[in-house]
Amino acid sequence: MAKLNQGIIGFTCGIAFLAISQTTFATDTVCQGLNGLIKAQQATYQQSILLVKNSNNIMKKSDKKLKRLSKRADKATKRLNTLQAKLAQAQRQQTAANAALMVEKNALKTSSVALASNNSRVLQQHRNKIASLQREFSTLCSSPTAAKAAAPTRRHPSYSTSKKTDIYVGSDGIIGHTSDD
């Protein structure tokens, strides 16, 4: 019976050993599978890190480009503002120049009217003076002695000595010459 007990114990130990070894083998397989999963997860994690780094690099480059574009936009805005200010100044100067031109034009018109009036007055004074001189000359030349005194003593070289030239004042007051042919 001792042998039987030993056999049962041995059998039980064998089954237990077999169960333990199967469990160990199964555990090793599970552990290897878990190790494979962990390695795959680590590889995925490494790839994720690379993707994040690449994304960060792309974002940095994009930020640099965005900053450059922003600086360009700021410069363009400043230039546009400067040009708009210059345009507004030019428009104000144009308006002022137009106003000054209108004032000058009105002053010139007033001066032209005044000058025309003055010229007309001076011209009338000259006409009056000429008429007065013609009347005086006519009076002087109407007497025979005055006509001889007023006659020119020198004749133009184109006149022949056979022609007689007299000075007369017409009825319209114009002084003229006549010659006997």
- Residues 102-127 have pLDDT tens digits of 999 888 888 888 888 888 888 888 98
At residue 176, φ and ψ (nearest 5 deg) are -150, 180
Query: Is residue 168 domain-resident?
Result: no
Domain that holds residue 99: 7-141
- Residue 116 C-beta-side C-alpha neighbours within 13 Å: 6
**8-state DSSP, 159:** S
- Residue 142 C-beta-side C-alpha neighbours within 13 Å: 9
Q: Which residue has the higher pLDDT, 152 or 46?
A: 46
Query: Is residue 165 domain-resident?
Result: no
164 near 180, Cβ under 8 Å? yes
pLDDT at residue 81, rounded to an integer:
94
Query: Is residue 1 domain-resident?
Result: no
Q: What are 146-155's pLDDT values in tens digits?
A: 555 555 554 4
Asked whether residue 82 carries a pLDDT value surpassing 90, the answer given is yes
For the full predicted model, state whether its pTM sits above 0.75: no
Query: Is residue 156 domain-resident?
Result: no
State both tokens at 64. 């640099």
**Confidence band (pLDDT; 50, 70, 90) for 97?**
very high
Q: Which residue has the tokens 């001066």?
A: 111
* Bridge partners, 177 (sequence order): 167
Domain count, the chain: 1
Query: Is residue 152 domain-resident?
Result: no
